[in-house]
Homo-oligomer: A and B are copies of this chain.
């Protein structure tokens, strides 16, 4: 970066953590790679900005936040003289900073249509010799890129470092709950981050939580529960994602028919043709998508044209809660749509809880591998959280599926 931020300690002002402190040149150099800068142009929450006008924050600010949370956790470990090898600090911080570097625009929706997972792209970006990220990592120490990739892929032998980055109580979740909450203005996602950090302790190869902090941990897990329902699974945001998926699906289907719309960016074309390589992938950002939808408002194909206008003008699909699946009724919706001239392949969809990436707690029953463990210092024993906390047990056990059926408002009367 040609313009130094200031003559002092490197920092970023941040609405969640106040400041993000950068002390190591490696971290500073990683932040300034073009692959990381790209994340400034990708919204953290995809289509959520359609439901919450404040939800415009980027994956870049979240990535800085994950790094900062790891930095704070490591400082607490150091302060308490916990067993920890300081050489692993940079590994954990770099992995935290880079864990989302492979995200593309609206990635959960795109992954559904195109099939490539962002984790694979993260790995490619870190390991491909052509990226700046790779060069910075290898300049630090040959082999460091592979180590960072291994942490992110959860196959690194250092389980503690892995669990700081990916686990039920990882820096990723700790940052995004707070950040999404601050940006949208929804209060439910806030919890006592400083205390969560203080009660974490590395024991053998796990990060555990001291039993004295049970209430704080409960509050964190309930924050996940509330953010899930108020933000991540918000019906309007989900409606926008349904429309976005249909746009991509239609564009791809048209290409299959030889009626491909014009692609205002070549990388988008290769994405939908499933020929996208790393260089192209790194060109994709929210603007590439939104500009395409903008251009396609005049597309020859009436379905594509209409869906793009709906998306940009926020004339989304209507919905009904649909807790129990009733095939007959669903068939009726599809028929009503088709009969009214709305191709049901693109205008009707079922959206279920399970399709949203987030969960609030796993660990009970046969998911113990992902549990959060409480540590009793006196007895030096571990207990799984949901065993001693009734609120956690409740949300862990919640099996109720939320299911919504989306369809054009125009057929509302025929649907009920």
A residues bordering B, Cβ < 8 Å? 1-3, 5-9, 11-15, 18-19, 23, 32, 34, 37-38, 40-41, 43, 49-50, 52-54, 56-58, 60-61, 64, 76, 79-80, 182-188, 190-192, 194-195, 198-199, 210, 212-213, 215, 218-219, 222, 225-226, 229-230, 235-236, 239, 264-266, 283, 285-292, 294-295, 297, 312-319, 377, 390-391, 393-395, 397-398, 400, 408-409
Contact = CB atoms under 8 A, between A and B. Distances in A.
B8 A391 contact: no
A142 to B, nearest CB: 25
Contacts of A19: 194-195, 198
A291 B40 CA distance: 14
6 closest cross-chain pairs (CB), A and B: A2-B409, A287-B290, A291-B291, A264-B264, A287-B287, A53-B61
A226 B219 contact: yes
A397 B80 CA distance: 38
Nearest to A32: B314
Q: How many copies does the complex hold?
A: 4
B54 A61 contact: yes
Q: A5, A12, A187 — which one has the most chain B CB atoms within 10 A of its CB?
A: A187
Contacts of A266: 295
26 contacts: A2-B409, A3-B236, A5-B236, A9-B76, A11-B198, A13-B52, A14-B185, A15-B183, A18-B185, A19-B195, A32-B314, A34-B312, A34-B313, A37-B313, A41-B290, A56-B61, A186-B192, A187-B190, A215-B226, A215-B229, A219-B226, A225-B391, A266-B295, A285-B294, A291-B291, A291-B292
B53 A58 contact: yes
A411 B411 CA distance: 65
Nearest to A34: B313
B318 A2 contact: yes
Given A41-B290, A294-B265, A186 B49 contact: no
A82 to B, nearest CB: 11
A391 B395 CA distance: 7
B54 A13 contact: yes
Contacts of A37: 312-314
Contacts of A316: 1-3
A281 B57 CA distance: 26
B391 A295 contact: no
Nearest to A64: B53
A184 B15 CA distance: 6
A213 to B, nearest CB: 8
